[in-house]
Amino acid sequence: MIKKIHKIPDKVFFNAVFLIVVLWNLKYFFLPLQVPFTMIAKDFIWHNQFYSTVEAIKTASLKTEGFQDEGEIGFVSDIAQNSVFDLVDTIKSYYIAQYAIVPSVLKNDLKHKYVIADFEKKKTIPDGFLIEQKINENIYILKRNDK
């Protein structure tokens, strides 16, 4: 006896595969509608603080006479490093200042004519320096006192 195998019509097979694909991708259907609401909930404060700090340092460095002529600029900070894992917090201000004063190079010492100072706690100006520009409540451009 020969048994006949029932053949599934191509249209039914195509519709089944198409339905599976549509249902699988339905989770992405509402994604464009979610974007405006995720933008409202997104915290842009740090992003704006970064760019406003960079712009403030850049503007102050352009206003300071002779700052752009220096190839190397010093850097000093009192931001404490609590642990090895706080690396981002301790060097963030250094890299922000370096980004703002390009093409000059920022060195982490006081051996240069100009120094960018980032004081988080107490504003103790190093010996031999005067405040050239106050950038914001924490950041200053210091100039070596030639006297």
* Mean pLDDT calculated for residue range 7-11: 74
Burial class (CB in 10 A: 0-12, 13-18, 19+), 94: middle
Average pLDDT value over all residues in the chain? 81
**Strand residue runs (E) in 27-92:** 72-77
31 or 116: whose pLDDT is higher? 116
Q: State which amino acid sits at residue 88.
A: V
Q: 80-91: b or e for each residue (b if 16 or more CB lie within 10 Å)?
A: eeeeeeeeeeee
Residue 53 phi, psi dihedral angles, 5° rounding: -70, -45
Neighbours of 50 (CB within 10 A): 13
Q: Per-residue pLDDT tens for 43-63?
A: 666 667 888 889 999 999 999
Report residue 83 CA to chain centroid gap: 21
For the chain, give percent helix, strand, coil, nearest 5: 45, 20, 35
Is 85 a residue whose pLDDT tops 60? no
Is 143 a residue whose pLDDT tops 90? yes
